[in-house]
Amino acid sequence: MVLEVTNTNNVKVYTVSGSSLTRKLPDWLVKRKRRELQKDIEWTRRIELIQDFGFPEASLRLKVTPDGQFCMATGVYKPQIRVFDFANVAMKFDRHTDAENVNFCVLSDDWTKSVHLQNDRSIEFHNEGQMHFRTRIPRFGRDLAYHSSSCDVLVGGASSEVFRVNIDQGRFMTPLQTQSEGVNVVRVSQAHELFAFGTQDGTVEFWDPRARNRIGVLEPEIAGIVDPINGTRGGFEISAMDFRNDGLGVAVGTSSGHVLLYDLRQSRPWQTKDQQYGLPIKTVKWMEQAQGAYSPEVDSAKIMSADARIIKLWSVSTGKVFTSIEPTNDINDVCHMPNSGLLFVAGESAEIQSYFIPQLGPAPAWAHFLENLTEEMEQKPQQTIYDDYKFVVRRELESLGLSHLIGSPVLKPYMHGFFVDLRLYERAKAIANPFAYDDYRMQRVQDKLQEARESRIRATTKLPKVNRSLAMRLMQMQKGEKG
């Protein structure tokens, strides 16, 4: 069993689940097929970090609960919600919905309370037993966030208004009127509870929840993108955003594939990063230094930015890329397990892929075995499909007496020779040279004798550093006189 590993910038990234490591066995497969799969190398080497960690077709969103004990994810098809228990490394339950999920928020410390924004203009509130309540909003939603102090669920979408649903009073409150025709991203700072709305006009509006008034507008500018496109101010839209825990830093992702880092006290970014693919940023996340991880930089925090093709982790202070991950399928969402080096990636595949980066942080407590498992499984050589075959050229075939098999299914032509079954090759070689074993045995005996001679103690005479040639000639003359 071997783990797939990449080594970008000398940072090892282990694929601990997903891709070809977790081939799912169809439910309709009969028992006879199951027995046959025991001989399948890829099937026997499969790895399941969490049992049934995926969806029938694709996964859309996933988040780790605040207590760090569960993972809630949404996917298709059919649209459903799944909760995974880290303590039992298995799926806890799944629940089907009427529409696909756009985004969701976990309202409690565990999975028991959550709110889901659906693509049919509905908002669903779920508890531990069922869907508790459903309501509809006037416009299609694009993102939502939860303000715990006022119990308001903020929903932005294809409208200039940010809708507010108060779950304490059970009614809609007066919406917040923005200056844009659409709101793509809604975020609430955990430090000072400032509202931030990323708009389709390429601006970020900051609102004070106490006065419910706009207190500032951030207008990002990117060199080389100046002409308005599709009515946007700077030729791009705000597609992702995240606040730093210190309350001062904010990361802004754009539809042009750029990530800008701002200090709320300044109007210009101190760092700008290009993903190089020109695709909208789907996830941007501040990642503080985990306990047990070492970094020589003064500010050891990193930014995780992801578009549909690649995930990049780079330094906040220098902008230097720490490492990058390119899954085989398009990315929909990325979730980081807090205080660890484990990443979950939701994408256009049946499995939710998991990546472990030891230099980013230690393995979580529920998966502590990853610390030793990754090193042990990496050291073993990977078996290839050619291990049971031997490549031979035409001349060797004639010496073995197998030239009459050319053109038959036994010999598979490849380049300037043929692949032949290893068992057939060994048998033909034994017949063609019946004394091969005797020759091999004599050669081994000669090698052993030579090693014994070399191990004997010999008297060595050191030559002086000056006039070596003269000293050597005198020594030879002395040996000649003695002889």
Q: DSSP for 295-344?
A: --SSS--EEEEE-SS-EEEEETTT--EEEEE--SS-EEEEEE-TTSSEEE
Q: In angstroms, rounded to a whole number, what is the distance separating the alpha carbons of residues 10 and 76?
A: 36
Q: In angstroms, rounded to a whole number, what is the distance separating the alpha carbons of residues 343 and 359?
A: 13
342-347 β-sheet, strand order: 4-8, 11-17, 353-356, 342-347, 331-336
Q: Which residues contact 106 (CB under 8 A, 6 or more apart)?
A: 63, 65, 66, 72, 113, 114
Q: Which helix (H) or strand (E) holds 218?
A: strand 213-218
Q: Which residues contact 178 (CB under 8 A, 6 or more apart)?
A: 160, 161, 162, 197, 199, 205, 214
Q: In angstroms, rounded to a whole number, what is the distance separating the alpha carbons of residues 418 and 416?
A: 7
> What is the b/e burial string over 8-37, where b = at least 16 CB atoms within 10 angstroms of the residue's CB?
eeebbbbbbbbbebbeeeeeeeeeeeeeee
Which pLDDT score, from 0 to 100, does residue 428 have?
85
Which pLDDT score, from 0 to 100, does residue 381 have?
47
pTM above 0.85, yes or no: no
Biggest CA–CA distance in the chain, Å, is 118
Backbone angles phi, psi at 36, to 5 degrees: -65, -30
Other CB atoms within a 10 A radius of the CB of residue 405 amount to: 16
Q: Which residues contact 321 (CB under 8 A, 6 or more apart)?
A: 8, 9, 312, 313, 314
SS3 annotation, 88-109: CCEEEEEEECCCCEEEEEECCC
Helix, coil or strand: residue 425: helix
Q: In angstroms, rounded to a whole number, what is the distance separating the alpha carbons of residues 180 and 197?
A: 10
- The tokens for 93 are 């339950």
> For 26, what's the count of Cα atoms within 13 Å in the CB-facing half-sphere?
5
Provide the β-strand partners of residue 254.
Answer: 238
Question: For each of the chain's 483 residues, which pLDDT tens digit applies?
Answer: 557 778 888 888 888 887 544 445 554 454 555 566 666 666 666 667 888 888 988 999 999 999 999 999 999 989 999 999 999 989 999 999 999 999 999 999 999 999 999 999 999 999 998 899 999 999 999 999 999 999 999 999 999 999 999 999 989 999 999 998 999 999 999 889 999 999 998 999 999 998 889 999 999 888 766 555 555 556 789 999 999 998 899 999 999 999 999 999 888 998 899 988 889 999 999 998 755 454 555 457 899 999 999 999 999 988 899 999 999 889 999 999 988 999 999 999 888 999 999 888 888 988 888 887 766 665 444 444 556 778 888 888 888 888 888 888 888 888 888 888 888 888 888 787 777 777 778 888 888 888 887 777 666 667 788 888 888 888 888 877 765
- The tokens for 395 are 């001349």
